[in-house]
Structure 1
Amino acid sequence: MAEPWIPDVLGAPFEQRTLPLGDDAEGQVVATLVRRLPGWGQRMLGPLRDVDVLYVHGWSDYFFQAELAQSWNDLGARFYALDLRKYGRSLRDGQTPGYVDSLDAYDADIAAALDAIGHDGEPRSRRLVLLGHSTGGLTLTLWAARHPGVAAALILNSPWLELQTGALARQAIAPLLRAHARVAPLSAPPAIELSTYARAQREIGSLPTAEGRERWRPAEAFAILPGWLNAVLAGHQRIAAGVDVGCPALVLLSARSTPPFRWVDELTSSDSVLTVDDIARAATRIGSVVTIARIDRAIHDVFLSWPEPRAEAYGVMRAWATATLRAPRSAGLRSRRASA
């Protein structure tokens, strides 16, 4: 049974709720749901007052973007964020941070969150929007494709839909990685330099500064273990084959990528994690109604960019969500049936 809502580390009006998920080889497994609810006037008058948003973070990350929650509350929507098992608020002592050997394992986390929100499979008067960043975007894309008709819309913030080295390299690497993951899924990973992205966020001033949370979001990122990377590549292969998320989708990306191997100023105004052109191409394979928005000078998390591109990203998301979700539900249902 889920625990009661309690005050969250972000402070009022944020609250959190622990969602027990049973045990695995490393002990008790939980997810954590964070919420921020709109005020009375927003609930009554907001254009999206019948919408619930569920956000899922990326790799080596957790939810801390208070401005993102506020932007949805301003539209009247209820905002929820999920710290997945072994991430952020859900990480317990003795656990391997972020580790799963299949992205399908997160079905239990998402199901527990939807049950706590009230989307438990029964017909609901409220609509669900899924919002995912990076690996969270990949996870939610695959989940939506396996659960058609549950979400009214999918919004992806720089989703990790393809390996940085491209499809040909992924196809070459995948069999070797799969064999390695079977034999030694938790073996020591290669040394990979990932701190330039954290430095870019520090330069912009968008990193969380609260003491005691460095373990939740280390500058060098979590260790990339063979079993976990194999799970991600399996997800990439599903995307490459084509999926259908069953709802309109918006994909937000930077206009360009910059290699992260050495520090240059361009890292503060481009994506240093993903190859955005490859992600844009992969995004065309996730459904029949996909809008791709390229944000000039955005970084990997477009909502942590400099003020101007960040404002543009919020403006695009709000305009798209309002236009998409204001449409009559009967029309949306007909559209989904027609594209089936």
Structure 2
Amino acid sequence: MSERTTSGTAGTPVLPVAPVGPRTDVPDEDVPTVESPPGTWVPDVLGPGYEAQTLYLAPDDEGAVVATLVRHRPETDETLRPARAVLYLHGWSDYFFQTGLAEHWTARGVAFYALDLRKYGRSLRAHQTPGYVDDLETYDEELDAALAVVRSELGAHARVMLMGHSTGGLVTSLWAHRHPGRIAGLVLNSPWLELQGSGLLRHLSSPAVAQLARFQPKAPLPNIDPGFYNRTLSAATGGEWTYDERWRPTPAFPVRAGWLAAIMTGHTLVARGLSVDVPILMLASTRTLITPRWHDDMRSADIVLDVELLARRAVQLGPCVTVVRIAGGIHDLVLSAPPVRARVYAEIDRWTAGYGWT
């Protein structure tokens, strides 16, 4: 079957739309569901030391909606309440499974929480379009709910930092801009701050994306994910990591027009300049390698985003931004090779000592 296209406005690119057919992105019935009674922690799929709590959100046009808060609780004196916490947000077509990150923070006396956003990972339900929202401000609901749980556990005066990876870095940056005074710092791991290519490409393609999003918001765009990134990660293909491929599939979940329009709106806001009022640490690889053919060098470069664009955009987030480039880093820097992620953690430690909890 040939691809359909939708006509854009004069002078704008024409966007292909994937052929109409049976939905292949809807979770199967055997996709695990993590759910707890309101306000209750239950054992998490990550095993001992990890617990999950379902956050029940307002329903949308697809029905019931939840998010999932995960916490790491090492075997320590439970009467102790840390005065500092980190809340982590994952990226696109992803979920929280980075246990090394959680254990890095808790080893330093910092309470660690991670949020599986609505329609991702533990929060994905069979009636939902994976990952879909048409406005990034939609995530304010689960961010506010998650922060309320953190503060209820640690106290109203606990110092909380947000940490976001890729799309989660864009979401957390925009949230922090709109909510001054709510957090102590922001750590960004390869945040998606600009469309691949350039701001000019975003400017030229925005009208076509907006038109498609208006009339066919859930129309899937052609999936161009060749699976190279997951190949660098998965233990089955030479990587180090084991994760649930029903929650992090290859190829990634289809990108839909309404979601892409929301992302591009976020990029436009970043390009105009944000005013995040807390110190920001932005980490990214020193190198991008995006090619149509597999190369083993992909195991030591960002093969998802243009890191030079990320670095240029980062300084527009607020008045106090530290940019650190990591040689040999992949897109999710904490999943890089052991010597590389050791440097990532060392840079986070150095920054937090100077800025993170001030």
1:208 paired residue among 229, 242, 250? 242
Between 199-208 and 50-59, the greater mean CA deviation after superposition: 199-208
Letter in 2 for 1:77: V
Q: Note the residue ranges of structure 2 that are not aligned, 5 or more in a row.
A: 1-36
Task: Kindly state the Cα deviation for residue 190 of structure 1 after the two structures are TM-superposed.
Answer: 1.4
Is the CA contact (8 Å cut-off) linking 1:49 and 1:75 kept in structure 2? Answer: no
Structure 1 CA distance for aligned equivalents of residues 317 and 238 of structure 2: 32
Runs of at least 4 residues off by over 6 Å: 41-44
Structure 2 CA distance for aligned equivalents of residues 219 and 248 of structure 1: 35
Q: How does 1:318-333 map to 2 (within 5 A)?
A: 318-325=349-356, 327=358
Q: What's the secondary structure of 1:177's corresponding residue?
A: helix
Is the CA contact (8 Å cut-off) linking 1:204 and 1:306 kept in structure 2? Answer: no
Between Structure 1 and Structure 2, the one with more helix by share is 1
Task: Kindly state the Cα deviation for residue 204 of structure 1 after the two structures are TM-superposed.
Answer: 5.1
Matched, 1:250 2:281: yes
Cα distance change on mapping 1:152 and 1:43 into 2, 3 Å: farther
Q: What's the secondary structure of 1:118's corresponding residue?
A: helix
Matched, 1:151 2:183: yes
**TM-score, structure 1 as length reference:** 0.90
User: What RMSD, in angstroms, separates the aligned Cα atoms of the two structures?
Assistant: 2.0
**TM-score, structure 2 as length reference:** 0.85
Task: Kindly state the Cα deviation for residue 52 of structure 1 after the two structures are TM-superposed.
Answer: 1.1
Task: Kindly state the Cα deviation for residue 214 of structure 1 after the two structures are TM-superposed.
Answer: 1.6
Structure 2 CA distance for aligned equivalents of residues 150 and 302 of structure 1: 26
1:11 paired residue among 31, 47, 71? 47
Structure 1 CA distance for aligned equivalents of residues 157 and 220 of structure 2: 48
1:228 paired residue among 259, 262, 273? 259
Letter in 2 for 1:205: G
Q: How does 1:94-173 map to 2 (within 5 A)?
A: 94-118=127-151, 124-173=156-205
Structure 2 CA distance for aligned equivalents of residues 69 and 136 of structure 1: 16
Letter in 1 for 2:311: A
Task: Kindly provide the CA deviation profile for residues 80-132 of structure 1, in whole angstroms up to 9, marking residues without a partner as x.
Answer: 00000000000001210000001000000101111111269xx9221011000
Is the CA contact (8 Å cut-off) linking 2:223 and 2:255 kept in structure 1? Answer: no
Q: Note the residue ranges of structure 1 that are not aligned, 5 or more in a row.
A: 328-340
Is the CA contact (8 Å cut-off) linking 1:133 and 1:158 kept in structure 2? Answer: yes
Task: Kindly state the Cα deviation for residue 64 of structure 1 after the two structures are TM-superposed.
Answer: 0.4
1:281 paired residue among 290, 309, 312? 312
Task: Kindly provide the CA deviation profile for residues 257-300 of structure 1, in whole angstroms up to 9, marking residues without a partner as x.
Answer: 00142101111000000000000000010000000000000000
Letter in 2 for 1:92: R
Cα distance change on mapping 1:97 and 1:326 into 2, 3 Å: closer
Task: Kindly provide the CA deviation profile for residues 135-160 of structure 1, in whole angstroms up to 9, marking residues without a partner as x.
Answer: 00000000000001111010000000
Cα distance change on mapping 1:290 and 1:145 into 2, 3 Å: same
Structure 1 CA distance for aligned equivalents of residues 267 and 241 of structure 2: 28
Q: What's the secondary structure of 2:53's corresponding residue?
A: strand
- Specify the alignment match of 2:69 in structure 1: 33
Task: Kindly state the Cα deviation for residue 43 of structure 1 after the two structures are TM-superposed.
Answer: 8.9
Q: What's the secondary structure of 2:348's corresponding residue?
A: helix
Residue identity over aligned pairs, in percent, reads 47
